[in-house]
Amino acid sequence: MPGTDVPIISPTELAAAEPDVVLTFVSDLIEEARASLPEVEAQGGQWIDAGTGL
């Protein structure tokens, strides 16, 4: 995202990074993202919804 120094990466790069936490800002898309990238949770990561904190 321009001006924020927050990198935008591909789903493949995200899974390869084995993140501890994936912070999502669009609550409506979190379930779709989780379904598309089950390897995040399989590797011990968790999804956090910025709107709810869960």
Please write the tens of the pLDDT for every residue from 21-37: 999 988 899 999 999 99
43 confidence band (pLDDT: 50, 70, 90): very high
**Maximum Cα–Cα distance across the chain:** 33
Which secondary structure element, helix H or strand E, spans residue 18, and what is its range?
A: none
Res 46 pLDDT > 70 = yes
Identify the pLDDT of residue 1: 58
Q: Looking at this protein, which amino acid is placed at residue 14? A: L
pTM for the whole structure: 0.77
SS3 state at 53: coil
DSSP 7: -
Q: How far is CA 12 from CA 16, 35, 39, 50, 54, in A?
A: 6, 14, 10, 22, 24
* Joined tokens for residue 1: 């995202």
